[in-house]
Amino acid sequence: MDRLDAAFRFQQEALSLRTERQSVIASNIAHADTPGYKARDFDFASTLAQSVQRGQRSAGTMLSTTSARHLPGQAPTASVSDLEYRIPLQSSIDGNTVEMDTERVAFADNTVHYEAGLTVMSAKIKTMLAAIQS
C-alpha cells in the first residue's frame, strides 16, 4: 500500500492545492465589488514543493478509534496558511485590489492545470490496471 500511496502522493497533493487555489480565486472574484477587499493568492509552486518535501501538507486531525482492531487514521486539513495579498497593477478608489482580468486568467490557468493533473492521474490508474490484468 505504501508504494501505491507514494505513486499517487504528488498528484494528490497537486490536485488538492489546485482545488484550494481555485477556491481562493473564486472568493476574489466574488468580492470584486466589495470596498476595501484585498485579493489573496498563494504561490502554487513553492507550496507544492514544501508539501512534497514534508510528505504531507499538514499534521491534520487525528481520528479516534472505537476498537483496538481499527486502523489509526488521520484526516488532512484543507487550508493553505500562506495566503498572500495580491499587489494590484492599478489602484482603485475604494481600496479593492481585485482585478477581474487578472483573476479570470488565474482561474482559467488553474482550471487547465487541474484538468491536466486529472488526466495524468487517470493515465497512471489505467496503466496500473493494465499491469494488474496482464
Task: Return the pLDDT at 62.
Answer: 61
Can you say how many angstroms the Cα of residue 38 is from the centroid of all Cα atoms in its chain?
A: 20
Give the contacts of 4 (CB within 8 A, at least 6 positions apart): 128
Q: State the pTM of this model.
A: 0.76
* Per-residue pLDDT tens digits for 65-79: 788 887 776 655 445
Task: Return the pLDDT at 56.
Answer: 53
Task: Return the pLDDT at 1.
Answer: 65
Is 81 buried (19+), middle (13-18) or exposed (0-12) by CB count in 10 A? Answer: exposed
Given a contact cutoff of 8 angstroms between Cβ atoms, the answer to whether 43 and 73 are in contact is no
d(CA 27, CA 39): 8
Task: Return the pLDDT at 74.
Answer: 60
Task: Return the pLDDT at 7.
Answer: 74
d(CA 134, CA 120): 21
Task: Return the pLDDT at 78.
Answer: 46
- Cell (9 digits) for 8: 499517487
* Per-residue pLDDT tens digits for 40-67: 999 999 999 888 887 654 445 566 778 8
d(CA 98, CA 31): 8
Task: Return the pLDDT at 69.
Answer: 81
Query: Mean pLDDT for each consecutive 10-residue tract of the chain (134 residues)?
Result: 77 94 96 95 91 64 73 60 88 93 97 96 91 87
